[in-house]
Every structure is written in C-alpha cells, then in structure tokens.
A and B are shown apart, each in its own frame.
Chain A
C-alpha cells in the first residue's frame, strides 16, 4: 500500500484518526469541503477572548490544536474524524490534495458508511505508523500519543525524543502562576500553559539541571511542589503536582542518566587504560559521502539507544536495580518473579519429619520464616519479612541439584530444593494459585537454562577455603587452595591475640548450619560474627561472598587470565601509572618487597585497567588492592575490585573521581544533620572536611588507620556496603568532637585526626577492674559509636543521597573541566574567554547528543555531530525541515558539500574527527579573517586541486554555495550579487599563464577578488557578514518559528508597545538588551518566544500585556482582562503621557500586520 503513495505525501500532517464533534466546535470555519471531507481553519483571529478561550480549552485537554485540520465527515452527523492537522495553509493544502487524489475516489466507491470509515482509518493509520516508526506516535496509549505530539510541536522537539510522562502542574514565576502541563521526556523537562491568552512555555534540558528539591507549595501547606535549579542558577517552581513523588523520582532517575552521559563527556574522551596505538593518518578514515548518507538514512529506531527509558521501563529498571543491589547480584540479573513463601530450613524439616502428623501446627514452629522468594535469570533469593526473625540468602540456580514438589501435606505448592552440598530447602508458596503456577514456570525455565553451569561448580569450589575447612576427608582438608599472599608471607597481627582459632571454629559451625560460599545465608548471628573480625584464612572468601564478587567470579571463570593473556604485549598510559606505584603499595608488608608480591599486584591492577579502560588506574586502587591481596587470590581480588569500582564505590576511581567527590558532599551533609554544632564550627573556621576525609574514603581507611583495624573496617564494609565508610567517619568526628571544636585551621584539624588514628589500639579503660574491660580499645569504641549513634545511615539512604547530590557534583566537575580545557588550549586563535566558553559549550553540547559516542568513546566529533554543532553556531548551517523538502533538494546537496569541505578544513589532522582545539583554531581564524582572507578561504575551499585557479565547474560550485548560504535572505540583492558574480566570473575566465595555449579557462584568485569587491553585497558578506554569522556570544537558543507564528508574535509586540508603553520599560527593554539590533518587529520578537529558560518569564510578561491590549482594542472588558490584571502589580498601570502620540502609529502597524496575517 505504501509503495503507491505519491512522493509528495506531506510529512507530519496525518494524525492517528480521532473523533471530533463539529457541532460544539464553533471556533472553526470551513475553508474547503466536499462530500466526505472538510478542511477547516481556526476562526479566532482578531478576538483575543476567542483565542484565549480556544487555547484554554485546548490546554485543559492537553491538545494543542494546529490552526488547520482535515476531517472526514461521517454521513450527515456532526461527528467527524480528524485525519490531518497542519500549522500552515500550504501544508494542509498538500495534504488536502493528497486526500482528494488518493482517498476521495475510493471512498466514493465504497458503499456503507462503516466500510468507508474503516477503510480510511486503516489507510491513515498505516501512513502515521510508517512515518513515525520509533516515536511515541505509535505508542499504545492514546493519551501519551496526544501529549507527545503536542509536546513536540510546542517545543519543536525532534520526533526521536520519547516522552516519559506528563503531569498536570502549576508553574510559578515571580508574578504569575499558570496551570498547565509538565512534560518529562528523555532529555527535557518542559512546561506549557496557554490559559486565557497567557502563554507560558518553558523548556529545560535535563543535563542542565543542578538540583531538584521537594518543596511545599506557596502557602507551605501542601507537599506538592518541586523546585528545579539549573546550572545557570535559574530556579523553576512547580506545584499542584498530584503525583509529586513520582515526578521527583522520575526526574532524579532521568537526570542521573544524563549525568552519567555528561561525565563520560567531561572525561574528555580520555581512556587512560586504552591501548596506545600509533595515530592513524590514513586517508581512508574520512567517511565518504556515501557512508555519511548511509549513517543518516539509518532508520531512527536503529540509531536510537537500546534502552528506551519510557515510564514503564524506568520503573522496571529501578526495581531491578534495587533487587540487584540488595542481594549483590551481577548486573545481568533482573527480577523475573516473586512470590510470598514460608521457608522451612533443614532443621525444621527434620523436626517435621520426626513425627508430627499435623503439619499445620508445625507451620508456626520456631524454625520457619515467612518471607518473599524472588527469582532472577540465575538466582533465587529469599528475604524474611518478619522483622524479628531475619534471614536472607541467595541460592544460585546452578547450585540446585534437585527440585521436587511435595504433595499431600495440605499445601498445594510446596517446593523442596536440594543444593550441591545436599542441604535441602523447603518453600511453601503462599500466593494465589495462578501466581504460584507462574512462579513455578519461571523457575523451571530458568533452572533449565542454568543447568549447564553446574558442571563448573566442582572446579570453582576447589578454590574456596570454606570447602577445605568443612571437608570431611583428609585429602580435601589438606588441599592447596589458592589464597592470599598472607598464606606465604604471614598475616598481620598476633593470631593468638586475635583469637583466630576460636573464630575459625565458630565460622565452621556457622557454615555447617547455614550453607557455605555460593549458598551462604545471612542468618541472625552472621553480622555479629563479622563485626568481631574475620579469621585470617576465611577472610578473603567471606569478603567475596558478602560483596557478590563470588557470583561474578563464578559466572566469569577464566576471564582474569584471558584478559591478561590477550593484552600481553600491549601498552597503555594506565600501565605506566601502575608501574610507578607498584613499589609503593604497602611497602612495609613483606610480600611487597619481593617480586612475587609485586607481580601479583601488577597482574590484578593491569587486568582491571584492561577490563575498564575508561577508568584505567587510579592511585589508591593500588593500596586497596595490595591490602585485599593479602587475603585473596589474584582472581578473587580482581573481581572484588570490579565490584568495588562498579557498585560499592561508583565513580570513586574514575578520571573525574566524581564518586569520591559526591560522597564527600554526602558526608558533609550527614555531618550537618547529625552534628550541626561541629558542622557550624568547621564552616566558621573555614576548615574543609575533605582535606582529611577524602583519603579515608578513597583508600577505605587502609592508609589512615593501623592496618589491622583497617581490615576490621573492611570486614564490615564488605558485609554492609558503603554506608560503613560514612558511619566510621562520623564516629571519628564525634569521638574527637570536643577537640575538634578547638581547632581553628586545617592544620590543627589534621593533627587531631592523625593522633586519634595512631592511638586506636590504646585501651579506653586502662584502669578498669575486669580484664575484658581493660582489653577494649579505642577502635572498639569507634565501631560501637559508628553502629550505635549513626544507625540511621543506611545503604538505602546513601544510595538516595548519591542520586540527589550527584547533579551538583557533576556541575562542579563540568565547570572545572571546562576551565582547564580552555586553559590548556595550545592556540586560542585570539578569541576571548567568553567566546571560547561559547565554543566549548556548543562543542560539548553537540557531542552530548551524539548517540553513537557511547560505543565509540573517543574525544573527537564526527561529521554527523559536527553538522549539529555548526547548526547551533551559525544560522546558515542549520538544516531545517524546509531545507529537506523536495524543492530544495539540489540546494541541500550543495550545502552538504560545503559543510563537508568546511569539516575537512577544520579537520587539520585529517582523522575525520574534530577536537575542541581543531574547532577553536579553525573557527577562530575564520571569525577573525579580514575581507581578503575570507575570499581566499572560500576560494581555496572550492579549489579542488589547490592550484590557485578555479575551473568553470568550480566557479559554478562557488556561486551555488553562496546561494545556499543566502537561502534565507530572500530574493533581493544577495541573489543579484551572486548572479552578477557568476556572470562576471565567466567573463574573466582565462588560460593559466604557464599554459597560455591550453583551451581550458580558469578563474584566478585575483580576478575572483576583483569581481567580489565590485559588488557591495558580496563585499559586505566577505568583510563582515560571514564572520559575524558565527554566534560566539551567549544568547538564548534561536528556535525556528513558523511564518504565521512570527506574525502573531509581531502582533504581540505591537500590542505590547501599544499597551501604555510598559512593555518598553519591562518586557521589551529587557529582551532587546539581550538580542542586539531589534530594529524590525519580527526579529525583535523572535527571541523572547524562542529561548528556553531565560526568556520565558518575559514571554509571560509581554503576552499578558498583549491580552490586555487586545481586550481593550476590542472593547471586551470581560473575564480575561480582569483575570490578567489581577496578576499585575499596580505600579505597572501608570501611563506615560508621551505614549499617546505613538499609539496612533502602533495601531496602524497592528492593522498592517493583521492584513499580512490574513494574506498568509
């Protein structure tokens, strides 16, 4: 069906067929009609009330109706079906013609109305889905579809942008509160309201948001408001949000994603861990025109990212994330299903079997746990819901040998699972039958897919210390289990004093009762056993099991060795950095004075740097790794390091170290909430917490505390998660609180803390009566205070705080990166700081939206992104929808050729990628070019063989380029200039002096120059216009407006001026100070409606005035005026006397513009 569509099928006009009733729609006038179809236009033109009402209605239903529409009339009734809408008459006409040609004849053939309607609906639907593949237009939810459409139309957003959700909300400016719609999409948050003539429009890029706060709305009564703060310190206040928390969570989640992307950009594309390869200057790296075309023609869906964070997706992502984090599961796991259960551990099963005939009584037996059983791809997890009886465990599906359904005990769904170690677990599923049935299905399916991994178990378990510890036969107990360096070089501290033996015994009992390694449970006394310190030989394995590194290791067996093997002879910056620090990692420990120890450390750090080249290697990783290697094998340490970098301490060791900075911010926040006096003191004395605390977090206290104690902290850290770092830190400050309050500078502050850490092994009660009391050290006190006084700090709260504070950190890092990037430019091309700043912003803004960068990860800007960048820099480089229409097809090609040549000009290293330096040097030169140099520049861009002569074709190309550059300038002198140029250039064609007899004729630089200088328009273009076309000053982003829109805007301006001149004083004077040269009405008005953020309050202002003005001219004194005026402070009503004279002129102007409007 699609194939026979004529090529001129108008894009973006057709809508999913929706029903409308023309009987109640008095605002439409019918322009064209025939038997079945109507073409209508909105009436409200001169009447502000009408327009206002119209907009209000539309706004209430969240359907911004374009002024033209095509309807299909259902027989004689007033019920119609809307088929197409358009902003301009031209567009709607082409749609109308298409309908007349393609639909009308066939409709006539069909007999019944029902048939007709069905056929039309199918036809239009197929067109819409065809043109809008991959957008929200094909969303199943009709509301989302409509909202998405009005969102994109209102804000001129590309159709690839997905709307996540939209909410009814009120937006507050200093003078107005407007009720409207808040849209949240992948990259933007937007607000639109058009109420009784007042339009409020706001568009904020998510990446520009610096803070999101929950607020109470104005009167402080309702918790239904949110405040957004952007990086340029603009504040936006929304209230009346019925689903405030949902909005908040969505925004936090989306901005979080944006921040991750931003951080990737601010790392300036450097991948310190990436292999160093000689720079390839091969010519074939420049993409051919064909390749570029191929890239561009990719269907939108394919270019788009894999994850489409629509609302449902987002909720799912969040749920999965929580699930993974809670059970420390690998990133590949997703929550598939969950069901409430009763868990009966092995012991209780025995009791049950031992003779009671009534299982129901046993249900309540002490040994049972009620809880939730969840299943992911490869893991089964249980968590008790009873607060008093806690139990948590993970059963990897690959450790389950047998599952049987227990029958005949009055329980429909009782499952018994037997693990590799022959321990059996019984679950009574408590949900509805259907739920249980489905759970069993999922379980069956996932078990099947995991069964193949069971064969790896034996080999894996041979590396587990617990297996040796619990082994019953001699040979296994003696087996050589790969472990940490401590096995050979000795563990720290006196084993006797540490009670290593009795601890080991306790753990043996625990593991026998509660499962070991992969299936180890977290029973009641688990935490206690860990808090007293782990026995040396088991330490590594418990760390691994607690942190989830063990699952990772099981699922990636061999990865460590493979990485090392495959990168054997390769080099990277990180390797060099690692090499510097190998001899400087716990140098006191015996192993690190030998080759053996050093090599272990090198292998782990090197392998990690290859695994995550973007992170590479960060100092402090050497300290952490050298510490854990005492207790862990290299492979164990490698995966533990992965868990640390990816989930425990995200961003700590990245090139921007944003994670570490973020946690410092949170630490300070926690200090403020828990110990406000101390916090105030630090603030007053200008003491910076981070100078002391940053190293604590970065090296997990390993080089702040005596090592023995640091390992105790690590024990808790791996069990409980990152919150321990905060708790211990806060406890340190609390214990030293009195001393710290005396400190008045950083120096004293550092000393107190250093002394404290050095004294951790001192007894707190040296003179106590009992030996036990005397043996308590300051470290015991520290842990006690950490757990007791700061138990409100939970992993969940830390995670939340990380999410809410990360925006600020990223903003900070960004501005730091920006300053240092600009400072480090080797050549600033004589551009000012501000100009460089603008170039920097535009460069990285373009790169930010480059989807493919995610995979490519290099610092350079490719051609496609460059087009976007140029579009943001110069108007002529913007490819608009108009440029893509068929009538401009030839011009488009010319433009693209020019753009490509320009790209090659900037790409001095010929690597088909632009660095910031390339852009700065290239653009800087052009902007500063004088008249002659500019002519030279254009000449050489078109001089294919660079011989200083243009062939006849090249001359033609040059003039085509000029025409393309002038395409928005109308048909005036620019056109004349170019045609004059072409004419004269052909006259001046001459043979090259060295080949006087050749028949070929060329244009020399000199003649070209002469011809251009002879034409005033061209001279002006080369002298100023082109250089000035690059916008290197901060300006609100220009937005493309449709013609009618501009005229309407002009009307507003005129009205504003008419309205007692107050626009001059406020709205206009402000807007004109931002946009230079507001000589013509239309250009002056283009800016307030265009820019997001900055100018929006002005939009509100000017248009308020307009409504008043129009209401006055029309003699309408009713509601809109009253409504509007109530919002305007009285002082604004004062008239200026000398405005009266002007009023006449302005009235005329209004008339003229109205005429124009009508004509268009």
Chain B
C-alpha cells in the first residue's frame, strides 16, 4: 500500500453518464451545491462514492472535516453538475458544518435504518478478542433523531430554498436479514430499527424528499440524486447564482464569526437559533 487509497477513491467527475440520467446532455450544466449531513458512520461517504464512482468499499476512513466530489447528472432536459460536500459525522465536527452548508441548494440528511430510535439499550456485543462491550444507546444518539436536528438546523439557518432529502441508508442489512429469516417471524424487525412509515411520515410533515437506500448494493442511490435534480428550482439558481453568491450571502468566516455569520438572505438580523 503506497498512497492513500481513499484519495484516489475520491476522484471526481469520473463517470459522465449515469444510469439515472439521459445520455443526451444539454450544453451547459447548472452547478448545484449539495451537502451531506448525518451522524457518524451512517454511510454518507459510501453513498456519495456509490453515486460518483459506482463503487463500494467496506471500511472507509472516516471523513475528517469534509470531502469534496463532483458528479454530473442529466434529468429530463436539465443537466446538473453536483458539487458534493461530504461532511464529517462526529458530533464535535458539528460546529464546522455551517462552513459547508452555506450557499448549498440541496442537502442530503442521512440516517441509518438499523439504528434504534428510542430503544434504551441496544446490545452491541463485540466479541473480538477479550474485549466485550455493551452500549447504552441514548436518545440523542439515535441516527434519525440526529437527522431530525440537522433538518431543523438547515431549515432555520441554511439557504431558504434548500431542497432537503432524508435518506435512510443500510437498507441491505434489513433485506439480508429478511431473506435469512424468512421463516422467523420477527427476523426483520430486529435489524430494522427505524420503520419506513415513521420516517416517511416525518419527511412528509417537514416537506422533505424521502428515500431508503443501500450504498452497498446501490439500491435507490441514483434515485436520491435524480429526484433532487428534479426538485431544484433551477430558474432560481440561474437567476441568483451570479448575484447571490457574491453579494447576498455574506462570506461567513468560521473564526471571526464563529460560524454564525451565516444568515439566509432575507432573514432578519437577529441570531438565528
């Protein structure tokens, strides 16, 4: 192993044509900034790699700060070039997030369908070597809850026209369990911890796009991005991309303003909590 493999994995704009997109690309692609948010290890990076490189890697290094990738996507008569910011998931990186979601036109908020929502104790026994852990899974760790708080933050602090997609990842684990335990009555339900209906209802209520995906198998991944591409108010972006980028959205400076300089245009000047 010589170089850092993840670096080469993050090659961008590699495959120009996508399954979900029509091959006849219009002349000029509209750039859309998309940010991925969600708890650590729910598969944000894997989701992007699947979309950009048609690839899946079992143990990806955690993202530090954020990774940047681009991918073109042609839907209907539109050609969109996604600039994807894949952010770090650990809680303490949270304060950096505004740096990445500023000016974003789309956000994908990812959670893990196999992570409990409100189950107080989740046994996660790792019998590797002599160490054996049992984890207490507290409310705030549940990945859907974390996703909800991201949505809340985006709706308050990001671009007001932002298109948000809620994505439940790791569907393959559920499907796999379902296949294995076809006879067993409760097989699937122990693996799946977030019922589809619950998440869908929440998405509906909050005005989000909703998907369940598997980055491993690729199920539903392209759908996420092509649906986002369809929902983006392109006219709005085209009209405002030049202007707003420079003038409307003040440069936010993480240090000086502590990432709080971000203010959606048109919103009041008081602190946006």
Contact = CB atoms under 8 A, between A and B. Distances in A.
Given A598-B128, A815-B271, A708 B255 contact: no
A661 B83 contact: no
B91 to A, nearest CB: 8
A698 interface: yes
B88 A492 contact: no
Given A585-B61, A661-B254, A823 B135 contact: no
A595 B128 contact: yes
Interface stretch (B7-15, B177-185, B191-199, B205-213): B7-15
B201 to A, nearest CB: 20
Contact of A758 (B7, B60, B251): B7
Interface string A438-468: 0000000000000000000000000000000
Given A584-B62, A587-B61, A747-B68, A707 B131 contact: no
A1094 to B, nearest CB: 19
B119 interface: no
B65 A657 contact: no
Interface string A679-697: 0000100101011001100
Nearest to B92: A655
A694 B65 contact: yes
Given A595-B129, A747-B68, A707 B273 contact: no
B41 A581 contact: yes
Nearest to B129: A599
B100 A691 contact: yes
A602 B131 contact: yes
Contacts of B245: 686
A691 B3 CA distance: 22
Interface in A701-741: 702-708
B113 to A, nearest CB: 16
A824 B153 CA distance: 10
Given A656-B92, A815-B260, A579 B126 contact: yes
B273 A618 contact: no
Given A584-B60, A619-B62, A688-B99, A758 B255 contact: no
Contacts of B272: 819
A581 B62 CA distance: 7
Interface residues of A, number: 82
Contact of A619 (B4, B12, B93, B254): B93
B217 interface: no
A576 B126 CA distance: 11
A258 interface: no
A220 to B, nearest CB: 26
Contacts of B8: 758
Nearest to B135: A576
Interface string A813-828: 1111111101110000
Interface string A736-750: 000000000111001
Interface in A287-332: none
Contact of A691 (B65, B129, B136): B65
Contacts of A580: 40-41, 62
A577 B40 contact: yes
A589 B1 contact: yes
A812 B254 contact: yes
A747 B7 CA distance: 15
Best-surrounded residue of A619, A694, A818 (most CB of chain B within 10 A): A619
Contacts of A272: 91
B96 interface: yes
Contacts of A919: none
B190 interface: no
A183 B2 CA distance: 59
Nearest to A753: B68
B255 A808 contact: yes
B269 interface: no
Interface string B90-109: 11111110011000000000
A757 B11 CA distance: 13
Given A599-B128, A690-B99, A698-B64, A820 B94 contact: yes
Nearest to B40: A580
B230 interface: no
A755 B1 CA distance: 19
Nearest to B258: A812
Contact of B4 (A664, A683, A703, A834): A703
A695 B3 contact: no
Given A583-B59, A618-B92, A664 B255 contact: yes
Given A579-B126, A588-B5, A691 B68 contact: yes
Contact of A665 (B129, B138, B255): B255
A836 B1 contact: no
Given A492-B1, A707-B2, A816-B260, A584 B61 contact: yes
Contacts of A595: 128-129
A923 interface: no
B240 to A, nearest CB: 15
Contacts of B4: 588, 702-707
A571 B258 contact: no
Interface string A750-780: 1100100110000000000000000000000
A690 B59 CA distance: 26
A127 B129 CA distance: 68
Contacts of B12: 751
A930 B191 CA distance: 50
A751 B91 CA distance: 27
A963 interface: no
A52 B64 CA distance: 63
Contacts of A654: 92
Interface in B134-154: 134-136, 138, 141, 149, 152-153
A493 B129 contact: no
A657 B5 contact: no
A555 interface: no
Contact of A703 (B40, B61, B70, B246): B61
Given A668-B255, A686-B245, A747-B83, A657 B62 contact: no
Interface string B70-93: 100000000000010100111111
A758 B64 contact: no
Interface in B45-65: 58-65
B66 interface: yes
Nearest to A575: B133
A906 interface: no
B232 interface: no
A861 interface: no
A751 B69 CA distance: 9
Nearest to A490: B1
A142 interface: no
Contact of B1 (A573, A662, A694, A707): A707
B68 A823 contact: no
Contacts of B70: 747
Given A688-B99, A812-B258, A812-B260, A620 B64 contact: yes
Given A584-B60, A657-B95, A695-B66, 8 more contacts: A492-B1, A571-B133, A571-B136, A583-B58, A661-B254, A664-B255, A706-B4, A819-B273
14 contacts: A493-B2, A583-B58, A588-B5, A589-B1, A599-B128, A599-B131, A668-B255, A688-B99, A746-B68, A758-B3, A808-B256, A819-B272, A819-B273, A823-B152
The 9 closest A-B pairs by CB, nearest first: A812-B258, A665-B255, A706-B3, A588-B1, A695-B65, A583-B59, A694-B65, A750-B68, A580-B41
Interface of A: 272, 276, 492-493, 571, 573, 575-577, 579-581, 583-590, 595, 598-599, 602, 618-620, 622-623, 654-657, 661-662, 664-665, 668, 683, 686, 688, 690-691, 694-695, 698-699, 702-708, 745-747, 750-751, 754, 757-758, 805, 808-809, 811-820, 822-824, 833-834, 836-837
